[in-house]
């Protein structure tokens, strides 16, 4: 006999007698993982406990998708290994309806807090309530407990009640474990509650990615990739290789971060070991690569100093005439900016042979002005550059522009951070005022496929995920957001493969960040 109960606008079935049932999992053998499914992270039973060993991942999740509960009481022991510099946060997920809709307890060691979170589609931390706590520590087993009944959530640590929150949005769902930026172990999980059947089975979707590079030899932090297909049919991926998000020179890495390259001859299924493209005595970053009609390869990148000293934020190119086997010396790119200048997206070659390189930066004489976009062009294959246009906005910061040429000759540009867009009908000399796109995102990347579908890859900060949207009318309207992977590094780059699929590369962020690749089915970007 079953009884209907409302669940966030849906209907679920629970036993009419409301009989409590339980489940206990020790996690001391591999057999205890039966019925659990990893969404992300490196989960395995080791030394008599369940260990999530990827200390760099900000969102490692393990689900129990086949059993759902309401009015539950869950406890689990956790052990925070004293390694890494992140928040090192074990977590407990309850009442999950899908991978975006759930309650979550985030035990944040670094900030001495426990965060009660309700997540919803489109925004991972829809409601986050922070509580400062004492007693969280590394190197010792501790016990977390959460009891949810009638919209009341009681949270305990080592038997002591920390706080009570009230929220009745979600009446029940599956449970999960989570680790954030830490090497976290779990054991002795116990759940008691009222079993229920969700109206839609809980399905764990995992990004079908290949790893391009996890360690280029500079500290195992890889980021900001860009991808191209050469005239010989190879895929080349250039990226930032360092030890952290900013990698200034230090002992063992005297030049700081460098620009590295991996290559694939099988459409992205396997990748070569990393090679060095350029390594100057400063942090080299945000590289992009353009295959030119004459067979040359042009990599644009910028130098960076966290103290932002004058002359340290500059744009350069390096050139290869042998399919990326060797590279010439860095060449400075003159820009219209008198303050700091930057680049993050590739130069685009026009049908008339011009190269247009989108940049962004500031004017030293206007310290309070917003960041603006500049375009430089070259008529000699990137050996010399002249300013083509300067785009300003009174309403928006303009950074990290991506450029694409449309079939009718218009140039379309998407710009971080709002995202905004603008277009030019005269080859890039004048532009419309930047206007907001229908979704916010960071570091957009544009690709026009052979089928005439305009794709935009980006980082979606509200869900901390890597996403893509598509347009069949050249940017007038856009599809709903499609999640490629639930990692927040992004800085996507897209290339169409010979079979019509689109390969997307992006990075994961956090200590040990790597470069990943996912192939999408054309035309709408669905993985």
Last residue of a domain, one of 174, 197, 220: 197
Q: What are the tokens at 270?
A: 């396997």
Average pLDDT estimate for 433-447:
94
Q: How many residues does the chain have?
A: 527
Q: In CATH, what number is assigned to the domain containing residue 101?
A: 2.60.120.560
The answer on 163 and 80 residing in a single domain is: yes
Q: In CATH, what number is assigned to the domain containing residue 216?
A: 2.120.10.10
pLDDT tens digits along 453-483: 999 999 998 888 999 999 999 999 999 999 9
Residue 461 in 3-state DSSP? helix
Last residue of a domain, one of 197, 225, 252: 197
Q: How far apart are CA 178 and CA 36, in angstroms?
A: 12
Q: What are the tokens at 350?
A: 């026009």
Q: What is the pLDDT of residue 311?
A: 66
Q: Pick 171 or 9 by higher pLDDT.
A: 171
Q: Pick 385 or 125 by higher pLDDT.
A: 385
Q: How far apart are CA 280 and CA 332, in angstroms?
A: 13
> Which residue range is the domain that position 19 belongs to?
2-197
In a domain, 24, yes or no: yes
The answer on 430 and 346 residing in a single domain is: yes
Q: What is the pLDDT of residue 122?
A: 78
The answer on 403 and 352 residing in a single domain is: yes
* For the chain, percent of residues with pLDDT exceeding 70: 94
The answer on 508 and 419 residing in a single domain is: yes
Whether pLDDT at 11 is above 50: no
* pLDDT band per the 50, 70, 90 thresholds, residue 218: very high
Q: How far apart are CA 260 and CA 258, in angstroms?
A: 6
In a domain, 204, yes or no: no
The answer on 367 and 441 residing in a single domain is: yes
The answer on 178 and 326 residing in a single domain is: no
Do residues 238 and 259 lie in contact, with contact meaning Cβ atoms separated by under 8 Å? Answer: yes
pLDDT tens digits along 184-207: 999 999 999 999 999 999 999 888
Q: What are the tokens at 351?
A: 């049908």
Average pLDDT estimate for 291-307:
93
The answer on 151 and 12 residing in a single domain is: yes
Domain count, the chain: 2
Peptide bond into 54 cis (omega under 30): no
**Which string of DSSP letters, residue by residue, matches 204-261?**
------EEEES--SSSSEEEEEEEEE-TTS-EEEEEEEESSSS---BTTBTT--EEEE
The answer on 165 and 261 residing in a single domain is: no
State the average pLDDT for the chain. 91
Whether pLDDT at 313 is above 90: no
The answer on 280 and 154 residing in a single domain is: no
Q: What is the pLDDT of residue 126?
A: 80
Average pLDDT estimate for 94-110:
96
Q: What is the pLDDT of residue 2?
A: 29
In a domain, 109, yes or no: yes
Q: What is the pLDDT of residue 7?
A: 31
pLDDT tens digits along 29-80: 999 999 999 998 899 999 999 999 988 778 899 999 999 999 999 999 999 9
The answer on 338 and 223 residing in a single domain is: yes
């Amino acid at each position: 006999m079953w009884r209907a109960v409302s669940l966030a606008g849906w209907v679920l079935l629970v036993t009419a007698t409301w009989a409590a049932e339980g489940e206990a999992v020790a996690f001391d053998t591999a057999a205890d993982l039966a019925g659990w499914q990893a969404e992300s992270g490196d989960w395995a039973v080791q030394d008599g406990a369940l260990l999530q060993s990827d200390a760099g991942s900000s969102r490692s999740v393990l689900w129990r998708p086949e059993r759902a509960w309401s009015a539950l009481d869950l406890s689990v022991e956790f052990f925070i290994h004293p390694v890494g510099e992140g928040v090192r946060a074990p977590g407990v997920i309850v009442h999950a309806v899908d991978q975006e809709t759930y309650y979550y307890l985030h035990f944040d060691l670094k900030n001495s807090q426990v965060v009660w979170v309700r997540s919803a589609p489109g925004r991972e931390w829809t409601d986050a309530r922070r509580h400062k706590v004492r007693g969280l520590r590394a190197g010792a087993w501790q016990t977390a407990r959460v009891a949810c009944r009638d919209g009341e959530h009681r949270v305990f640590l080592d038997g002591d009640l920390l706080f009570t929150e009230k929220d009745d949005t979600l009446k029940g769902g599956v449970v999960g474990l989570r680790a954030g930026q830490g090497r976290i172990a779990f054991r002795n999980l116990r759940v008691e509650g009222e079993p229920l059947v969700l109206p839609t089975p809980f399905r764990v979707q995992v990004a079908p990615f290949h790893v391009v590079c996890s360690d280029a030899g500079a500290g195992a932090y890889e980021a900001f990739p860009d991808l191209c297909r050469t005239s010989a049919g190879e895929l080349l991926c250039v990226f930032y290789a360092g030890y952290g998000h900013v990698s200034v020179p230090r002992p063992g890495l005297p030049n700081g971060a460098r620009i590295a390259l991996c290559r694939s001859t099988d459409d992205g299924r396997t990748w070569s070991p990393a090679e060095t493209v350029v390594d100057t005595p400063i942090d080299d970053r945000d590289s992009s690569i353009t295959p030119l009609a004459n067979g040359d390869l042009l990599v644009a990148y910028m130098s960076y100093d966290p103290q932002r000293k004058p002359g340290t934020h500059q744009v350069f190119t390096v050139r290869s005439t042998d399919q990326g086997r060797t590279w010439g010396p860095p060449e400075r790119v003159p820009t219209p900016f008198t303050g700091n200048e930057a680049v993050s997206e590739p130069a685009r070659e026009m049908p008339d042979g011009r190269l247009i390189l989108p940049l962004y930066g500031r004017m030293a004489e206007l310290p309070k002005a917003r960041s603006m976009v500049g375009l430089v062009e070259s008529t000699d294959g990137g050996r010399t550059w002249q300013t083509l246009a300067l785009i300003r906005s009174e309403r928006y910061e303009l950074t990290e522009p991506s450029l694409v040429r449309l079939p009718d000759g218009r140039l379309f540009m998407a710009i971080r951070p709002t995202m905004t867009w603008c277009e030019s009908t005269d080859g890039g000399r004048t532009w419309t005022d930047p206007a907001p796109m229908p979704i916010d995102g960071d570091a957009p990347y544009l690709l026009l496929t052979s089928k005439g579908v305009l794709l935009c890859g980006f980082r979606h900060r509200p869900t901390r995920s890597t996403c893509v949207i598509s347009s069949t009318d050249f940017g007038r309207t856009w599809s709903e957001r499609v999640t490629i992977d639930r990692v927040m590094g992004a800085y996507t780059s897209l290339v169409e493969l010979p079979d019509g699929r689109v390969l997307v590369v992006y990075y994961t962020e956090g200590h040990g960040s790597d470069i990943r690749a996912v192939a999408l089915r054309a035309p709408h970007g669905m993985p």
